[in-house]
Chain A
Amino acid sequence: AQSVSQHNHHVILSEAASLELGCNYSYGGTVNLFWYVQYPGQHLQLLLKYFSGDPLVKGIKGFEAEFIKSKFSFNLRKPSVQWSDTAEYFCALNNAGNMLTFGGGTRLMVKP
């Protein structure tokens, strides 16, 4: 069975600090990996995705993620966070039928 683990449940950073959120997955087949973000009071929205090719994926708002197959990881990074990045972040993978399996989420708070 497929699963996704996010190691950090809560992260607090000051503005301009660098961010890295961990994500590990378990799946026996070819993976598509995603990071979703949910800003306070808003819908879940796609931040970035990896399907194939370059393992370093760039998304919206300066976020990027690196797929490391040997480590079954897809960590999210941003060099300098802003207060507006305060949100909950979810890592997910999908199977051949496009069913998404989500991790438990990481709540990020950025202090101004």
Chain B
Amino acid sequence: EAGVAQSPRYKIIEKRQSVAFWCNPISGHATLYWYQQILGQGPKLLIQFQNNGVVDDSQLPKDRFSAERLKGVDSTLKIQPAKLEDSAVYLCASSQNGQRSYEQYFGPGTRLTVT
């Protein structure tokens, strides 16, 4: 079974530029999550989708971050404009559904450096 795919793996941009990350979850997984992992910290949930609807985006900085999952499969996370403090690894995860008993599977992450 193929795992969660993410691209790009690395991205370097200047502050105030925009950037987008892509995630393809495990086939058949209805729930998709985006996490931000700042160096030296644990991952922090940004947004959770159930199919193509948002379940929780309470920790997403909506003035600059946006995410969509239009067809209930792939998802993109965008930052516009980027700030220095957005430098982090952005992790995508998926699970069969949003019930707490279902394991989340993580992708390799996208490492973003903002200069």
Interface string of A80-112 (1 = CB under 8 A from B): 000000000010101111111111110000000
Is B45 a contact partner of A104 (Cβ separation < 8 A)? no
* Contact status B55-A44, CB under 8 Å: no
A24: Cβ under 8 A from any B Cβ: no
Interface size on A, residues (CB 8 A): 25
Stretch of A13-21, A45-53, A54-62, A64-72 with 4 or more beta carbons under 8 angstroms from chain B: A45-53
**Contact, CB under 8 Å: B103 / A46:** yes
Q: Does A76 contact B (CB under 8 A)?
A: no
Compute how far the CA of A36 lies from the CA of B98 in the bound complex, rounded to whole angstroms.
Answer: 19
Residue of B nearest to A92 (CB): B42
Do A102 and B100 touch across chains, with their CB atoms under 8 A apart? no
What are 15 A-B contacts with C-beta separation under 8 Å? A36-B106, A43-B109, A44-B106, A51-B101, A94-B100, A97-B48, A97-B100, A98-B98, A98-B99, A98-B100, A99-B45, A99-B56, A104-B40, A104-B42, A105-B40
Residues of A bordering B, CB below 8 Å: 4, 6, 32, 36, 42-46, 49, 51, 90, 92, 94-105
- List the 3 closest A-B pairs by CB distance, nearest first: A102-B42, A44-B106, A98-B100
